[in-house]
Structure 1
Amino acid sequence: MLIRLLKKWRGYRHRFVPWIVLNLKNRSKRVIEVGERDKIVDDDVLLSALLCLLPHLQSTVYSSLPPVAVADRNASVTETVLGFCVTRAPSKVPGAGTGVRVARGRVKKGSLVALYPGTLYHRDEPVLLPSIGNAFVLRCLDGIHVDGNDQRMSKLIYKSCVRRDSVWPYQAGDLTWLTEHPVMPLNIGQYVNNHSPGFPANVAYQEITVPLSCIPPEQRCFLPNVWYSSGSHCDHLRLVALVSIENIEQGDEVLSAYYTVIH
């Protein structure tokens, strides 16, 4: 029982503010000074890469092929369009479990590497219950939370919100990132591990607000995020991109710095 509690605490402590404050001095972190933007590249560059990829992907919604076949096809397409493809794989960081690596190709500095999937919560919305024992809740700079857990309550909430916002025959978000075979290969950013000594960070988080008017309805099924509440947010979507801060070679693990300090 004690071992289980310690394991849950190790996952939760990164979102417990008092613990973060006490331990921040011992952690490597990205520091954004006064007047600087928390942007690695312009949002338009990342959005352009995404819009170039989406039309070439095939969805299980409109295909009779099994999900694994569609996922494999889209991985090859992603390599052709972006020059690389990422996949989930055992992490090289001791004790980290599953991670993300570059399966094929080469990532250039300033590239869109992955997207952080999940349900989007505004700061006044009830994220407490799904966050219990959940190491996949990411907090954006403006207080929006992204629940990237693909299990239990988080999974049920995400699927419910996608189905609520879907207008037949179009699906309002990607449901396949919840499975072993995501058909949008970039929708695995929640598995990118934190860097550690000997394993330096090569990507950083960048938040993008995407007008949904620029995404054709038939391509919404590849976007990995959905709002917890509907209505006032139906004209835009928050995406959290992982952007390369250096070149990443084939076979290398994708690693990020979890802590960003804004002065």
Structure 2
Amino acid sequence: MNARPLRIGRGIMLVSLTMFAMAPLLMLIVTSLARGWFHPQVLPSTVDVSGWSELLTDTSRRTALLNSLVLGVATACIATVLALPLGRAAALSTRGVRRIVALLAFAAVALPPVALGIGLQLTVLTMGLGGSLRGVLLAHLVPALGYLTLVFLGVFTQWDARLEEAAATLGATGRERWTRVMLPLLRRPIADALALGFLVSWAQVALTLLVGGGAVRTLPLDVLAMLQSGQDQRAAVGALALTIPALVVLGAARVAARRTTAVIA
């Protein structure tokens, strides 16, 4: 007799949590389609999709979106290419080396974004890349490389080197060991790393603002500018646009994980 009230309580809690989690998203969707929505109206009086069409037709907003995509893809690819061998080398080294690498990688992740951004701004300025897309890319690579190094350090700490040794015994060259043994096993970690690297850059605000100096427009900065200027509809459209590539990247990583044909022991 006590099971039914318990199930009802769990159902109410689940519905409440779902509504609490979905409320901001629903508000963004309604706001992105609203025009002339003022208090005390419960719903907007007019539906307007001009904010969505403007996202692709307005030159400044299209530039911000393109910059964010370029930075996200470039950060993901470069950080993955650098972090994979770095994590492998650290995992195969002594415990002291592993600790140092892990500490440096964690510092790049754990430092306050403003403190990290100021240091990177000064560094980028000395390189003559201040206020440029390349300078912002270098800044985004720092936290992304920190995250991905920790990812691959964990992967290769549990790596079974006997698989490579067995392939070498069977006559496989170094290149064949990479392409036929390691890469199939690393498909899921690489997909996760690419997704994480993209998301680190895609949502970056502080580093972009400090290193870019306001000269490099990205979608997160554009959303903040719209919100501060009271353009709620445009800000809502931009905020929703921020979620779409993130969901696509996570979905692609999930598909790649499902297609993994081997599991790291």
TM-score (norm 1): 0.31
Higher helix share: 2
TM-score (norm 2): 0.31
Larger Rg: 2
